[in-house]
Chains A and B, each alone.
Chain A
Amino acid sequence: MRAASGSGAALAAVKGVGGRLLSALPALFGVLALTFILMRVLPGDPASFFVSSPTAGEAELAIVRQRMGLDHPLPMQFLYYLRDLATGDLGTAMTTGRPVADDLVERLPASLELTLAGLLLAVAVAVPAGVLAALRPGSVFDHGVRVLCSAGVSLPTFVSGLLLIYVFYYWLGWAPDPTGRLDIFAFPPETVTGFLLIDCLLAGDWETWWSSLSRLILPACTMALFTIAPLARITRGSMLAVLTSDFVRTAEAVGLPRRKVVVTYALRNALIPVVTISGTIFSTMLGANVLVEKVFSWPGVGRYALDALMASDYAPVQGFVLLMATIFVFVNLAVDLLYAVIDPRVSLS
């Protein structure tokens, strides 16, 4: 009987997840169509951008237009695009001359690794800081956290990135040169997950693991500096609200140890908005940390999309937006699942 109800719950959960994913499809299609139209409405002719040889004329322009599929009317272009998409073909990037899908698959792990590292770092600093600030509102520590938050959020990431490079690479010489994920003289490990830290571990190559970790630290810190602020503020605010609520007062009144009250009862309830905001920050940073990627020569998807956008290279931009929208759907789903873990009252259905 118990087993049956257990599998029933699992089935319901799977149904819930499947339903959520299905309901995201219309939104994805909307994003797809909108990006497609926007790219073509925006001024800028990709063909004349790419054909830049001084002797090139109409003939070369026509070849490039044909190769980019621009010689068809707009609705036909969209239909062709959908047809290719159905077969998993995201088109070919003119900027790199390779299939967009290959480019994205290769660059996504770089962005994911950086964003995850940055976010983990930020959470590790922001949540304890937010909690401590909430426990002693108005104290020196609280003000200190506020100053840190204001500084972090008001420094643009490329400024803090350049600053960190200047101090730790140029001045102190502690950090390696900011030229991407791996030392150019190091041999990359065999690609399994695309995450260098994991792939190096799988290959048992500690030297390369250390090399990639040391290169990850500065950009991850740059991102963390920027994301600590919203996380710490949300944690503090939410913690303050929870600490003054009835059930915490009751718990304290019945004489539960302070530690148990704060960690088990208060923090667990206060974390829900933090998880929500973390999900949003993660999705946003994944695509929007272009400046960090640029400053540290990080081969991520954000830089890829921006370069393509500057060149009016349609296919990579469309592929990127589609990828980001899909990731957003999955991150939101993950956030909802996490709610269920944190708060038993929440269920997917």
Chain B
Amino acid sequence: MTEFNRRQVLMAAAAATAAASLPRLAAAQSREETLRFVHGSVWTALTAGDLTGSRASLPLSANVYDRLVTYGRKEAPGGGWEFDFTVIEPELCESYSVSDDGLTLTFKLDPAAKWHDGTPVTAQDVKWSLDRAVSAETMSKSQLASGSITSPDQIAIVDETTVTVTLPQADRLALPNLAMYLAPMINSTLAKSHATEADPWAIEWLRTNTAASGAYTVERMSPDGAQVVLARNEAWTGGPLPGFKRVIVQSVPEASTRATLLQKGDADLCLDFSPTDLEVLEAADGVKVIQTPQPSGFAALIFNTQMAPFDDPKLRKAISMALPYDRIFETAANGQGMKLYDGAWEGEPETGAFPQPMPYAVDIEAAKAMVEEAGHAGLTVPLYYTVAKAGDFDPAAALIQEALAKIGITVEIQKTPDAQYAEIVTAKTAPMLLERSLALLPSPDYFFRIFLNGDSRWNFSSWANPEVGEILPKARYEADEAAYETMTRRLVSLAYEETPMVMLWKPTTKAAMAEGIAGYTMWYHFGPDFRTLDPA
């Protein structure tokens, strides 16, 4: 690390300026147009996709990088905005088109688009960025593969300002994936000059440096990622210029300290405050809290369907008939979000949206009889969940324990440290889990593909239903909306019949911010997007 990088140059420049001018005065002036964002994590990788980057790095990097396209947004129930998965708009590109057969995506570049260093964005840059996404060892590879973009051969330069992506089949997720943070557009000339033989895609260099075109540039970054200062890119062409000139991204590990900073007006935005601070923040002067239900989020009681005793669908069904859903929703979710249990349909649901409320019929006596009939009376079973989600799941687990005791099942609560929990989930050795998660894209077939099919760790229930396995590949490439809906409705009814997991509630994303801030948008990544925010 003897290399003299951009950050060091900037730091030196900053220090020199500081010595020459009056730093305190400059700071006081900029505070008005500065957004201070506090979070519990650190921003360790500036470029999205780094396998060692913190989770918080991904959404944060979307403020610095552009994608070819972006999702639209619409007004959300809670008072803010939410992303609109069905609308895809140009971001770095000027326009795009999809061929009638759905096999070719054509992107027309904006001649005015510039990288942060002032050089124009070229078709070569776009091709290199997408080549990198499908080739380099980053998280992008598997994400783009989920939309049938797997090889550099699919990406072609037509002319100076046109790039096409060719698909083997009309994949519904190909374009939405390109709007995600895992498909960042990178200044290839700059990145390549820092590539090495061992690291041809400059993964190392791009971890602590940027080669981007986005709405913000990285002005300063502390080596541990605890403090990052962003400055607005005045030449940004990807959208309307953001309202804040500077953004400070600061790590404040203690949740109660974050809440105090907000109340005091020293922090302007926080997305990860603790549930216990919610009431205090809602009541505080000068602070507002916006709650938005997560379109594809869920909290559920999940059974391991490949392991005794929950390989018996009758037992799973019996448990779904014995849970105190309302009490769980009121205590564990504080009554916030959306109920996923009071559905009114029979047979097949009206829409194929998922997660949606399931029509679980609560009947303790019948459930008890079913457990006895199936020979599971007197069963003792552990229930695992991670310490990180204990705020929600401590009360939920206690309520489940109490309810299942009534039908003759003893639950042993196993609250487990994060890394250990990750190991158990990957090895699929837990018979029963409480889990809360979300699919990045609110598309029902995508949800099933990730959470209810296949052998990845995210198929918590290890559910392997042959009919689901048959429908999913068809649904993925189905261009006709009505036919797609028929398939997804069938998927939802199968998930109800076989009960690989009992859906409990749909969590909300909670954002606390200074009263005057407008334009808060909940994105698919639930992280902060500083570009849409405006000061009072």
Contact = CB atoms under 8 A, between A and B. Distances in A.
Interface of A: 43-46, 48-57, 59-61, 63-64, 67, 94-99, 102-103, 106-107, 158, 162, 165-166, 169-170, 177-180, 183-188, 190, 207, 294-297, 299, 303-304, 310-312
Contacts of B1: 99, 102
B419 A297 contact: no
Contacts of B450: 54-55
A51 B137 CA distance: 12
16 contacts: A48-B422, A48-B457, A53-B182, A54-B450, A56-B142, A67-B51, A95-B42, A96-B44, A97-B208, A178-B260, A184-B36, A187-B15, A297-B253, A303-B253, A304-B224, A312-B420
B251 interface: yes
B260 A96 contact: no
B439 A97 contact: no
Contact of A184 (B18, B227, B423): B227
A184 B143 CA distance: 36
Interface in B190-233: 207-208, 222-227, 229
Interface stretch (B23-31, B341-349, B470-478): B23-31
Given A44-B423, A57-B456, A60-B142, A184 B257 contact: no
Contacts of A299: 222, 224, 226
Interface string B65-103: 000000000000000000000000000000000000000
B419 A169 contact: no
Contacts of B229: 184
B167 interface: no
A141 to B, nearest CB: 36
B417 interface: yes
Given A53-B139, A55-B142, A55-B145, A297 B27 contact: no
Contact of B51 (A51, A98, A177): A51
Interface string B253-265: 1101100110110
B434 interface: no
Contacts of B143: 53, 55
Contacts, number: 157
B225 A169 contact: no
A54 B55 CA distance: 12
Interface in B401-437: 417-420, 422-423, 425-426
Contact of B439 (A54, A158, A304): A54
A207 B22 CA distance: 10
B266 interface: yes
A178 B257 CA distance: 7
A93 to B, nearest CB: 9
A162 B254 CA distance: 10
Looking at B38, B145, B423, the one whose CB has the most chain A CB atoms below 10 A away is B423
B398 interface: no
A170 B266 CA distance: 10
Interface in B45-72: 45, 50-55
A178 B263 CA distance: 13
B50 A97 contact: yes
B250 interface: yes
